[in-house]
Amino acid sequence: MSEYLNQLNDSQREAVTTLEGPVMVIAGPGSGKTRVLTYRIAHLLNSGVAPWNVLALTFTNKAAREMKERIVDIAGSRSNSLWMGTFHSVFARILRRESDKIGYPSDFTIYDTEDSKSVLNEIIKEMKLDKNTYNVNGVRARISAAKTQLISPEQYAKDERIRSRDQMSRRPYIHVIYERYVKRCERAGAMDFDDLLYKFYYLLRDNPEGVKEKYQAQFQYILVDEFQDTNFLQYAILKMLSRYPESKQNVCIVGDDAQSIYAFRGADISNILDFQSEYQDVKVIKLEQNYRSTIHIVNSANHLISYNKKQIKKKIWTDKTEGPKVKILRALTDTEEAKRVAGLIQEYRNRHYIEYKEMAILYRTNAQSRAFEEHLRKANIPYKIFGGLSFFQRKEVKDLLAYLRLVVNENDSEALKRSINYPRRGIGKTSLDKMLDYANKNEISTWRALTELQLPPRTTSSIKEFVQIIRHLQGMAKESNAYQVALEASKLSGLEKLLKQDTSIEGVNRLQNMYALLDGIKEFVEADEIGEGGEVANKSLSSYLQNVALMTDLDQANNEDDYVTLMTIHSAKGLEFEAIFVVGMEENIFPSFMTLNDPSQIDEERRLFYVAVTRSKRLLTLSHAKSRYQYGQIRYNDPSRFLEELPEEHIDAPTPKVKVIGEAPGKGYNTYDASPKGRVSGHFNRSPRSSARPSPKIDTSNFRPSPSDKIAKGQQVLHLKFGKGKVLSVDGSRDKRVATIRFEDVGGEPKRLMLKFAKLQIV
């Protein structure tokens, strides 16, 4: 019986064996939290507690299954009678038992997200409301938030503050939709996911036939995992279940306030911060030994989180004193950042023998994955997007690419089917089926069938509108670069407008993904001018689509079990890797620009960074770029404030101190001299690109770029990379002037440089 206790350190053993009264276990990262929870439940059973008297609540079914398997190994098959699972699964089980007390059948349906949206869409249509103003995702989010705060439809309708907010967003009828939605679900004998908690709370509160006392008496020992992630409603239920007058309030919560990162989902950090004030004589046990990471990572994380004002103080420590310091990688552009991260991954695998599956790239938002996917593919490094689709497989990305493919090749039937009625323009499935059937029977392209087939006048008018859009873009593609065509397509098609109307978190992410695709196309158009001294290449739409088509063709020859993981930091919580790359460490990205005016949100962003840092066992790289494409523009961001909060003794170079020296051309954004005054890491000195040919030697102290509008045919000029050359011709106008120059020290064909970026000095 005591053998498993011998596997624990002193703090872990205390958390496992303190069974009576309220207990709060503060479990730092890598401190063996899962083992403590598992052994505590097993110890309860081995101490004579009946399994049906134990309620263990987790946040994922996977965690519950894994824990139960371990408990069975220690305490035997009686563990199968435990009440253990997610909040939703356990409460659904009880609701089915007590369904008659709330007017539901025992086999009620549980609506998923799509079911809920379908019901809401139906109500919005019946009420003849504008479906763009009353975007279904936004409406659903408002109803979900109301239920989480225990606000009924009646209370919602009477609350002037809530109604005023709806009025300001031009959605004054949400309270009516909420009321009808609830009634429709009830008539259908259905509950959505929020209802599983909402209905259970009211079952306990209204207490028909003593149901509250029944479950208070049954659940004599309650355990909650990841308590920092609980919301208002979950905690309200917990307090109601655990405050049985005759009990000793045997509730054990396990969590870490420093890892509370889900406020956007409704998680309330005050639940764990204020737990001691809610219960009397709470036993606080801190698990502070980290078994995962090296001393450089652990001490960096400790120093970082000390900047947060509201927290439960603890000092995480480790006995792993060997290992490299935290590496900070500074790149000139986001493209260079991605390329160098890919290079480090290859280095770690070839030199340090770390498998791909032991490495992960973590970013703040999904839209950041694009550049890293491109460079991992170019380097033949297998990877997998975790918690989401590959960037180029996301719907909003494929939707815009479908329009672009159709511009280049109007006979592309798959692109036509995807784009012809999205956004909706009144060309229904029946009409499309007729077109496809006509094309197949006459052995012609779908596009030709589109223009030949006789359809009802309204459909014909919509088809003409669609054809005009494609024809306009085709004409534009003959004269403009890929980015200009793509930007016009995003607007003319209606895709941008449609995505902007969805203000939910998911909707904002989809819009960001479309903008990230546009950023990638803009980067494709201008990459050489910026990265290679301004050299011009083929920037046509056709060239870009060929490029992206090769990148989206995943090579299945690689070992599917060995791949680099790409994911958001939110998705990485609870995981660990040998090597972690936290990328995009810049102001406005991490911390997010949406949090900069709210100290509490900055604290949550810092906790998110803390989670990212502590995922690493041994190798931690933090990267940031001096400039990157965002929303079609080159943005110049400061290095993240979080980098300056890291202790220098655990970093392989001091964090660069930011000094403003000027403005980026025409953008009004600051550009920065981030060179440290003291010792400098090799990462900051290394050239972003290497070349077999030595660079021409130019005296940089005397180099002064001439105004780009003064460059003319026949002049001798100097370029910092290419050396001395002669201007053979100049074409274009204003910001689009391009010079053709033959350089003496660089062989091959004359180079074409965009003068806006080239920085030439007239000799």
688 φ/ψ angles, rounded to the nearest 5 degrees: -70, -25
Cβ-based neighbours of 281, under 8 Å, separated by 6 or more? 21, 22
Q: Is 259 a catalytic residue?
A: yes
Which of the following is catalytic: 225, 257, 337, 496? 225
Q: Report the distance separating Cα 162 and Cα 146, nearest Å.
A: 10
- Count CB neighbours of 518 within 10 A: 19
Q: Distance between CA atoms of 537 and 476, rounded to whole angstroms?
A: 19
CA angle (253 as vertex; 248, 254 as ends), nearest 5: 150
Tell me the CA end-to-end span of the chain in Å, nearest whole number: 87
Residues 6+ apart with CB under 8 A from 225: 33, 37, 56, 57, 58, 59, 63, 254, 255
Whether 713 sits among the annotated catalytic residues: the reply is: no
* 225 contacts 63 by C-beta, under 8 angstroms: yes
Task: Measure CA 205 to chain center.
Answer: 37
Catalytic annotation, pick one of 405, 615, 617, 751: 615
Task: For residues 135 and 617, give the distance between their C-alpha atoms in angstroms, rounded to a whole number.
Answer: 44
Question: What is 581-636 written as a DSSP string?
Answer: EE---BTBBTTBGGGTT-HHHHHHHHHHHHHHHTTEEEEEEEEEEEEEEETTEEEE
Helix axes 136-148, 505-531, angle to 10 degrees: 120
Alpha-carbon distance of 266 to 231, in angstroms, equals: 5
Distance CA 249, CA 35 (A): 23
Task: List the catalytic residue out of 33, 292, 641, 721.
Answer: 33
DSSP 101-137: GGT--TT-EEE-HHHHHHHHHHHHHHTT--TTTT-HH
Q: Active-site residue 34, yes or no?
A: yes
Angle 193-206/232-242 helices, nearest 10 degrees? 30
User: Are 30 and 290 within 8 A, CB to CB?
Assistant: yes
Going by C-alpha positions, the residue among 566, 546, 578, 556 that lies closest to residue 380 is: 556
The catalytically annotated residue of 192, 194, 195, 226 is 226
Q: How far apart are CA 334 and CA 342, in angstroms?
A: 12
Q: Is 451 a catalytic residue?
A: no
Q: For 653, list phi and psi in degrees, rounded to 5.
A: -160, 150
**Tokens 């007058």, residue?**
245
Beta bridge partners of 385: 566
Told to judge if 673 belongs to the known catalytic residues of this protein, a careful annotator would answer: no
Closest listed residue to residue 655, CA positions, set 640, 669, 670: 640
Residues 114, 124: Cα–Cα separation, whole Å: 15
- Which residue is catalytic, options 234, 249, 259, 595? 259
Residue with tokens 């350190």: 9
Helical (H) or strand (E) element with 760: strand 760-762
The residues assigned a catalytic role are: 33-34, 225-226, 259, 615
